[in-house]
Structure 1
Amino acid sequence: SWIPRRWVQQPLVYLLSLGVFASAWGYYGSVALAQLYGYGYLSYFGGLAGAFLLTPLLLRPILRITRRYQLNSLADLLA
């Protein structure tokens, strides 16, 4: 692959990729929410901001478990 392995394994890269994904959905979702609920759509952005701020805290224990037990997929983690 053309991306160095040490970059891909960084939690920050994962966090930023989630940010790109969520921002695309967030844009289209917020337009629809603003049309339906007026200023109530701001709670949507508050939730997204809270999720991004808490992601490093929430992912760290999951990453620790997956490394300890050598889990490779979400199915392994849930089993």
Structure 2
Amino acid sequence: MAPKLYPQAQRLRTIIVTLPIMGATAYVLFERLVHGKPQKTLPRRDDTCESGQHAGAPGKETEKIGTSGES
């Protein structure tokens, strides 16, 4: 088992782990807000067939991840 880190070392480790995550998140949000890049969505499993073609009703859109469909 690794030895316990000093408080200064714990803070440094937290910064080293957190900064890349924050940077990537900020970049994705910047792309969406400034450049108008759309949010990535996953197709619903019941809307696709084996060939990969969209089998849903015409005009039916996929739901965004994390939404329940209520507006």
Q: When the two structures are superposed, what TM-score results if normalisation uses the length of structure 2?
A: 0.35
Greater CA radius of gyration, 1 or 2? 2
Q: When the two structures are superposed, what TM-score results if normalisation uses the length of structure 1?
A: 0.32
Give the structure with the larger helix fraction: 1
